[in-house]
Amino acid sequence: MAQQPASHPLRPRVLLTIAIVLLLAILLALVVVFYNLIKPTGLPGGTQGIDGMVWVRSMYGFGPTEDEQLRQPSSVAIAPNGDIYATDPMRARVMIFRSDGTFRRLLHTAGGGTEKGMFIRPEAIDIDDAGDVYIADSWAGKIIVFDSQGRYSREWPVEGQARGVGIADGRVYVLDIGRVLIYSREGEKLAAFGARGNMPGQIDAYQGITARKGVIYVADSLNKRLQAFDESGSVLWTVPGGPASRSGPRPSEAPTDSSSASEAVPDHRWDLPQDLVFDGHNRLVVADAFQFELTVVDPRSGKAQARFGEYGREEGQFYYPTSIAYDPVRDWFAVADTNNNRIQIVRIPDSANPSAAVGWRAISSPFRYLAIPALLLLAAIILGLWSSRRLWGRRSALDGSEESVW
Amino acid sequence: MAEDHDILSEEDSVWAEDAPAAVDLPLRDPLVNVLLIVALSLVVTLIATTGALYVYLGTLNKAPRTMTERDVAVSETLIAERPNDVSSWAAVAYAYARAGRYDDALDAVSRGAKLDNGEAMAVVKADVLRSAGRLKEAVAAYDFAEEQTKKLRERIRIEQAKVGINRDILDDGALFQVFWGRALAREALGDTKGAIKDYVLASEENPRQSTLWVSLGDLYLKSDETSRAVEAYRSALTYTPDLPEALDGLKRAEEGQ
């Protein structure tokens, strides 16, 4: 027969149960406080916009005053470690954010200037695999390079205006208004082609340039078209804007087979394609400032396949999106939403293999802190169950031995 | 399981050897032990959560994360810099209203009204009340704002006439804002006729607002005035030729005809 506890058995049970309930209530209250701190004020009803584009977060600056915020950011780039760089040209500085949206630091050059290591108007930015940051300064007419720690590394002058910069295949592609200039990473000029104009092969652009496997893609903004060149400057394709219509099909209506892309959006209208980037599925994604959209394009033909986004000031909407960068690890895009004075992080469907990014998506969520109490509670429950099993085991063993004695 | 069994067997034998001494001690209820472990785990969880919260708060730099937060931050900075500027109070009132902080918004309105109780703050107050869902109060506030705005216009006209200026008052959009705001409030109250009247007044003040024409067209359609609805949608398309809502409305109206 089991020995009875010395005191009344119900009293400690009741007291402990009350204590646990109270502790759980306090924990719940803490989680609610945490959630409200993390959840930004003024989010629209859902973060999923039209056509499946998902808003992740916005970054405005590093403080509440206007001086501490971005003012018409013109370009954005993502470093290999996920840091997001945004040019703030009017204040001659670059803001660096961590991938979770918190501010890391400023890259500025003590007021700007034409001296070495200083910039006047950092117009465009890109980052190479080593984390070196290349900034095109359109007013100073140079490319200036900083290392991943923000230390000045090198610079070189550019003929004309340095409006756009793209790093690919170990080369630095610079876009003047009407020309493409190709440099080594150290600034040695390798090639140049193009002329300003609106004929096929001519360029009249702001900043959008990228390259892959020897093909150079240019967002020919003022000509309202995209163009692809080989390294000698020969035009591979030119896709002019279609008739004046915004009624092309949304992705849900578009054919899924990319080979029929030419039929997907036959009348796509380019209004001001400003920048372009490759996603994880080797598709070009173009930011069109005057259409307030991101457009997915087949890089083989230049045909538009899908469109995402709409005009507005709310999170997930755009007001002159002028630059775009892609993070293949986290499978998201950083968009310089220029007239909304912010950088937005968004995801669009089919930009990467989702399973590869699930872990990173979870870790990079601002709500990850909420997992801490949940994980601890889970550990407590497991520990409690394990202990009870042991205790009940002991108890049974003891009861057995006592019964045998009796 | 096999390991557990081994451990239990081993403990069992040890327990059995020490049984006389153990039996002398009062045994604690196993359930109490379990509850104690859970309670202690919860205490540890609470301490860890509080620590995480503290660390998180330490990393916050009060940078806005949404447009609403940005508007609030920027307008609060404006208030700090220019506390005697009515437009700063109007800006912060609108920002608070967008953030759902209606009491703060109305407080900002009353502070602004202390500086200048003119038509500007009257319109802001009406807009804030409408945002807060206090629609009847909003309509009354718009009536007051209309009266104030018309008085101001008349006063300016007389002053201009005194110095020999005879021209139309430069439209500052205040009346347009009053009529459109009141139309929205009345529409939300279900007062379709009143809303139509205000939309018409607003369109007379500023006919270039295509979304206003769409709203008017929708109300005409609701009132079975299809020819007027068609006219309103066509007016919208005059200013924004590919406005989807207007195209859709026109299609529905023409089908109705």
Give the nearest partner residue to B42 out of A27, A247, A391, using CB atoms. Answer: A27
> pLDDT for B238-256, tens place per residue?
998 888 899 999 998 888 7
Q: Which residue has the tokens 């909304």?
A: A340
> pLDDT for B22-31, tens place per residue?
445 555 677 7
Whether the complex's predicted ipTM is more than 0.90 is answered with: no
Q: Is B76 on the interface with A (CB under 8 A)?
A: yes
Convert B190-202 to b/e letters by CB count within 10 Å (16 or more is b): ebeebbbebbebb
Q: How far does B220 lie from chain A, in Å, by closest CA?
A: 26
- CA–CA distance, B192 with B190 (Å, rounded to integer): 6
- CA–CA distance, A371 with A119 (Å, rounded to integer): 43
Q: Determine the pLDDT at residue A358.
A: 62
Taking an 8 Å cut-off on Cβ atoms, the answer to whether B98 and A42 are in contact is: yes
Taking an 8 Å cut-off on Cβ atoms, the answer to whether B70 and A383 are in contact is: no
The C-alpha angle with vertex A21 and arms to A20 and A27, in degrees rounded to 5, equals 85
Taking an 8 Å cut-off on Cβ atoms, the answer to whether A42 and B57 are in contact is: no
What's the one-letter identity of residue A328? Answer: P
By C-alpha distance, which of B240, B150, B146 is closest to B198?
Answer: B146
Question: Is A266 buried (19+), middle (13-18) or exposed (0-12) by CB count in 10 A?
Answer: middle
By C-alpha distance, which of A124, A122, A127 is closest to A79?
Answer: A127
Residue in chain A closest to B33 (alpha carbons) equals A388
Edge-to-edge strand order for the sheet containing A225-230? A209-212, A215-220, A225-230, A235-240
DSSP bridge pairs for A217: A210, A228
Cβ neighbours of A65 in B, within 8 Å:
73-74, 77
Cβ neighbours of A84 in B, within 8 Å:
none
HEC per residue, chain A: CCCCCCCCCHHHHHHHHHHHHHHHHHHHHHHHHHHHHHCCCCCCCCCECHHHCEEEEEECECCCCHHHECCCCCCEEECCCCCEEEEEHHHCEEEEECCCCCEEEEEECCCCCCCCCCCCCEEEEEECCCCCEEEEECCCCEEEEECCCCCEEEEEECCCCCCEEEEECCEEEEECCCCEEEEECCCCEEEEECCECCCCCCECCCCCEEEECCEEEEEEHHHCEEEEEECCCCEEEEEECCCCCCCCCCCCCCCCCHHHHHHHCCCCCCCCEEEEEECCCCCEEEEECCCCEEEEECCCCCCEEEEECCECCCCCCECCEEEEEEECCCCEEEEEEHHHCEEEEEECCCCCCHHHHHHHHHHCCHHHHHHHHHHHHHHHHHHHHHHHHHHHHHHHHHHHHHHHHC
Give the nearest partner residue to A63 out of B29, B35, B62, using CB atoms. Answer: B62
Q: Determine the pLDDT at residue A177.
A: 84
Give the nearest partner residue to A27 out of B45, B61, B62, using CB atoms. Answer: B45
Is A325 within 8 Å of A75 (Cβ atoms)?
no
φ/ψ region of B105 (left if φ > 0, alpha if ψ in -120 to 50, else beta) reads alpha
What's the one-letter identity of residue B156? Answer: I
With a cut of 70, list the residues of chain A below it in pLDDT.
1-9, 44-50, 110-113, 241-267, 353-370, 373, 387-388, 390-406
Average pLDDT over residues B108-114: 92
- CA–CA distance, B9 with A272 (Å, rounded to integer): 78
Taking an 8 Å cut-off on Cβ atoms, the answer to whether A405 and B19 are in contact is: yes
First to last CA, chain A: 8
Q: Determine the pLDDT at residue A404.
A: 47
- CA–CA distance, A72 with A104 (Å, rounded to integer): 19
Phi, psi dihedrals of residue A193, rounded to the nearest 5°: -155, 170
More confident residue, A354 or B9: A354
* Residue B250, C-beta contacts closer than 8 angstroms, at least 6 positions apart: B217, B230, B233, B234, B237
Q: Is A58 on the interface with B (CB under 8 A)?
A: yes
- Tell whether the model's pLDDT for residue B7 goes beyond 90: no
Is B230 within 8 Å of B253 (Cβ atoms)?
yes
Taking an 8 Å cut-off on Cβ atoms, the answer to whether A62 and B45 are in contact is: no
Phi, psi dihedrals of residue B204, rounded to the nearest 5°: -70, -35
The C-alpha angle with vertex B33 and arms to B30 and B39, in degrees rounded to 5, equals 145
Q: Determine the pLDDT at residue B3.
A: 45
Taking an 8 Å cut-off on Cβ atoms, the answer to whether A245 and B242 are in contact is: yes
Q: Is B169 helix (H, G, I), strand (E, B) or coil?
A: coil
Q: Determine the pLDDT at residue A251.
A: 43
Cβ neighbours of A103 in B, within 8 Å:
61, 63
Cβ neighbours of B4 in A, within 8 Å:
393
Give the nearest partner residue to A41 out of B36, B59, B69, using CB atoms. Answer: B69
* Residue A105, C-beta contacts closer than 8 angstroms, at least 6 positions apart: A96, A150
Question: How many Cβ atoms sit within 10 Å of the Cβ of residue A313?
Answer: 16
Question: Is A63 buried (19+), middle (13-18) or exposed (0-12) by CB count in 10 A?
Answer: middle
Cβ neighbours of B72 in A, within 8 Å:
41
Is A178 within 8 Å of A195 (Cβ atoms)?
yes
φ/ψ region of B140 (left if φ > 0, alpha if ψ in -120 to 50, else beta) reads alpha
Q: A29-38, A339-348, B72-81, B195-204: lowest mean pLDDT where?
A: A29-38
Task: Name all contacts of A114-119 with Cβ < 8 Å and 24+ positions apart.
Answer: A114/A140, A116/A152, A116/A155, A117/A144, A117/A152, A117/A155, A118/A144, A119/A92, A119/A144
The rounded Cα B220 to chain-centroid distance in angstroms is 28
> How far lies A312's CA from each of A42, A293, A309, A325, in Å?
14, 11, 9, 21
Is A275 within 8 Å of A219 (Cβ atoms)?
yes
Q: What is the DSSP letter of B168?
A: P
Taking an 8 Å cut-off on Cβ atoms, the answer to whether A13 and B32 are in contact is: yes
Q: Is A18 on the interface with B (CB under 8 A)?
A: no
Phi, psi dihedrals of residue B78, rounded to the nearest 5°: -60, -45
Q: Determine the pLDDT at residue A246.
A: 41
Q: Determine the pLDDT at residue B142.
A: 95
Is A232 within 8 Å of A249 (Cβ atoms)?
no
Q: How far does A235 lie from chain B, in Å, by closest CA?
A: 33
Question: How many Cβ atoms sit within 10 Å of the Cβ of residue B151?
Answer: 12
Is A177 within 8 Å of A163 (Cβ atoms)?
yes
Taking an 8 Å cut-off on Cβ atoms, the answer to whether B67 and A6 are in contact is: no
First to last CA, chain B: 79
Instruction: Give the residue from B5, B9, B70, B101 with the most A CB atoms within 10 Å of its CB, the best one to mutate.
Output: B70
More confident residue, B161 or A241: B161
Cβ neighbours of B92 in A, within 8 Å:
none
The C-alpha angle with vertex B148 and arms to B147 and B154, in degrees rounded to 5, equals 90
Give the nearest partner residue to A16 out of B11, B15, B39, using CB atoms. Answer: B39
What's the one-letter identity of residue B171? Answer: D
The residues in A 356-385 lying below 8 A from B, measured between CB atoms, are: 369, 372-373, 376-377, 379-381, 383-384
By C-alpha distance, which of A147, A18, A297 is closest to B42?
Answer: A18
Q: Determine the pLDDT at residue B53.
A: 80
The residues in B 143-172 lying below 8 A from A, measured between CB atoms, are: none
The residues in B 11-50 lying below 8 A from A, measured between CB atoms, are: 11-12, 15-16, 19, 22-23, 26-39, 41-46, 48-50
Phi, psi dihedrals of residue A8, rounded to the nearest 5°: -65, 130
Phi, psi dihedrals of residue A244, rounded to the nearest 5°: -70, 85
Cβ neighbours of A384 in B, within 8 Å:
34, 37-38, 41
- Tell whether the model's pLDDT for residue B204 goes beyond 60: yes
Q: Determine the pLDDT at residue B26.
A: 54
- CA–CA distance, B94 with B100 (Å, rounded to integer): 10
